[in-house]
Amino acid sequence: MDAHPLDPLTAAELVAGRDVLVAEGLVGETTRFPAVLPEEPAKSAVAVDRRIRFTLLDTATGRAGDAVVSVTKRELVSWEELGEGQPAFMFEEYDLAQQITKASEGWQAAMARRGLTDRIEHAFCAPLAPGYFPRDDEHGRVIRSLTFLRDDEHDSPWARPVEGLIVHIDLTERRVLRIEDEGDVPVPAEHGRYWDVPARTTLKPIEITQPEGPSFTVNGAEVVWEGWRLRVGFNAREGLTLHEVSFQDRSVLYRASVPEMVVPYGDIAPGRFWISYFDAGEYLLGKNANNLRLGCDCLGVIHYFPAFLADDHGRPVEIPQAICLHEEDHGIFWKHTDLAGHPEVRRSRRLVISSIVTVGNYDYGFYWYLYLDGTIELEAKATGVVFAGGGIPGEQQPHATEIAPGLFAPVHQHLFCARLDVAIDGERNSVHEVDVVGVPTGPDNPHGNAFTWQNTLLSKESEAIRLADPAKARVWEIRSADRTNRLGIPTAYQLVPRPSATLMAQPESSVHARATFATKHLWATPYRADERYPAGDRPNAHSGGAGLPAWTAADRDLTDTDVVLWHVFGLTHVPRPEDWPVMPVDRAGFMLRPYGFSDRNPALDLPSGGHCHT
């Protein structure tokens, strides 16, 4: 079967693309591949030309560039050296950072001064993105490292921080730039082995069966289910992507993904004030994807999609079960008991498309839900191990909570940005803000009970930089310019936020400049193929200002055009003892809900199921 232009990359394509670069003389002994991504075609493209964008890094010199290769034509399309910002970190650099740290006489001396010489062998030296705090000795590819003690190589690496010991490393020159060694806080004594707890025996099994098989069909990357049709994608940076999503043979989304997230910390301690991870741009979400396991990550009748990614040397690596597709029961869908006492009830069901990634200490699950009435929901689930530092047991800290004796977890945020290339009954759409408001008591509200809704067209980019407002039940409505329903109203979908805090850092902070996208819940832009990442192409070691703030400065028109919505949502985490030693799932997300897209309830024809008993 011929490849669709939006299909994920294959192993053969990755090999072919790398071969072109080798033939062009762009790959040498010290060349590495921090990012290898599908170069998706423009919407107007007719011919299938499968392309790959390779980010190349010469580890000996630090020079980096982007090469676009046509694997259809087996030729180099373009080559460009990178400007500001660094490519994402690579797996081999994590090991390199630890090797450089442990070989450093300064680090060894700091450990000896603290009486920890006998703990060096199994110590874990975490490789962490540096943020943007340029010092005179920091040029190019810099990473920072914090130290944690372990009893052995299988021990939890996050439970026993060596507080105040920070190592700054130049990865290109392979040397320690400087070491900070502040304070003499005791290392927490308690281990973090969450897997060592005896399992309870009181839970009885729950079995999920579909004896006639699932209701969906899969053809390559295309999925069809109960009026829905879409293509499932995956790439090394964003991870899971959705393409050409339609409901009842009408377009809803051209593309949907989570192209960036930022995890800023609110602690002023030397080992944490600079932490503001961009998990997509600095670490690559997709490259850190899990191979999902039946009965654990996914339950029921499952279809798995594989993903082929490139390793640090540009060679293909398969994640056999990177994406899970299944159906699940979701309670009642609609019900009414008539005046004669006769009930009619139909059960809800949703299609779940999910992927899970692990970036260091945290795990993130991304779950796209499709519902029987045309609703789309994205839920991001955060779990894993909270990042913590050491402190004096029982002391009060203004920026961190004590979650175990002497272990303090800083306040922080997980702010995701979804990119929604909407196509509500076609590409010509407009965005409206809809608020529900009270009406002042008077002639228009003589009894004081009235309220109504207000509609505001967001016609320019400057008007579409917005905050959610739960007090007004605020939603953003995307209306078609080309189709109306039977009531003569433009067909539409509403973006329904689940309100959450935006970026808490101050406007003059470094992270505010680098993650400006996270200061608002909504941005809207006209579609441009090269506007993909809300913090810019390379947030790693970037000073800021790239991405959404740069694009929207042009204040382009948004009326009846090909609109892209950027929605920020997430979690603000004040850690608690219940989050240790492994954190229960915390959830954030939003819905895209049809509003006048259908002429009536599109799920009236659901079968009753025959399982209701009195």
Question: Of 192, 572, 571, 164, which is closest to residue 385 (Cα–Cα)?
Answer: 192
Q: What tokens were used for 216?
A: 């969906």
Q: What is the pTM of this model?
A: 0.97
Residue with tokens 């393409």: 243
Q: What is the per-residue pLDDT across 125-184, written as a single tens digit (0 to 9) for each?
A: 999 999 999 888 998 999 999 999 999 999 999 999 999 999 999 999 999 999 999 888
| Contact by Cβ (8 Å): 237, 281 | yes
Q: Report the pLDDT value the prediction gives residue 430, as an integer from 0 to 100.
A: 98
Name the percent of the chain lying above pLDDT 70.
99
pLDDT band, very low/low/confident/very high, at 515 (cuts 50, 70, 90): very high
Q: Report the pLDDT value the prediction gives residue 613, as an integer from 0 to 100.
A: 64
Task: Work out the burial of residue 412: count CB atoms within 10 Å of its CB; fewer than 13 is exposed, 13-18 middle, 19 or more buried.
Answer: buried
Dihedral (Cα; 282, 283, 286, 292), 10-degree rounding: -150
Residue 335: Cβ within 10 Å count? 10
Q: Report the pLDDT value the prediction gives residue 431, as an integer from 0 to 100.
A: 98
Q: What is the per-residue pLDDT across 315-339, written as a single tens digit (0 to 9) for each?
A: 999 999 999 999 999 999 999 999 9
Q: Report the pLDDT value the prediction gives residue 1, as an integer from 0 to 100.
A: 56
Q: What is the per-residue pLDDT across 2-57, written as a single tens digit (0 to 9) for each?
A: 678 899 999 999 999 999 999 999 999 999 999 999 999 988 775 789 999 999 99
Q: Which residues contact 82 (CB under 8 A, 6 or more apart)?
A: 55, 64, 65, 66, 538
| Contact by Cβ (8 Å): 287, 309 | yes
Region 271-299 average pLDDT: 96
pLDDT at 610 over 80: no
Q: What tokens were used for 583?
A: 């954190």
Query: DSSP readout, 513-558?
Result: HHTGGGGSSEEEEE--TT---TT-S--BT--S--SHHHHHTT--B-
Q: Report the pLDDT value the prediction gives residue 399, as an integer from 0 to 100.
A: 98
Q: Report the pLDDT value the prediction gives residue 183, as an integer from 0 to 100.
A: 83
Q: How far is CA 406 from the centre of its chain?
A: 32
pLDDT band, very low/low/confident/very high, at 391 (cuts 50, 70, 90): very high
Q: Which residues contact 217 (CB under 8 A, 6 or more apart)?
A: 223, 224, 225
Q: What is the per-residue pLDDT across 551-575, written as a single tens digit (0 to 9) for each?
A: 999 999 999 999 999 999 999 999 9
Q: What is the per-residue pLDDT across 246-262, written as a single tens digit (0 to 9) for each?
A: 999 999 999 999 999 99
> For residues 477 and 473, what is the distance between their CA atoms, to the nearest angstrom?
12
For 118, which DSSP code? Answer: G
> For residues 402 and 389, what is the distance between their CA atoms, to the nearest angstrom?
10
Catalytic residue numbers, as ranges: 279, 362
Query: DSSP readout, 485-514?
Result: -TTSPEEEEEEEE-------S-TTSHHHHH
| Contact by Cβ (8 Å): 476, 431 | yes
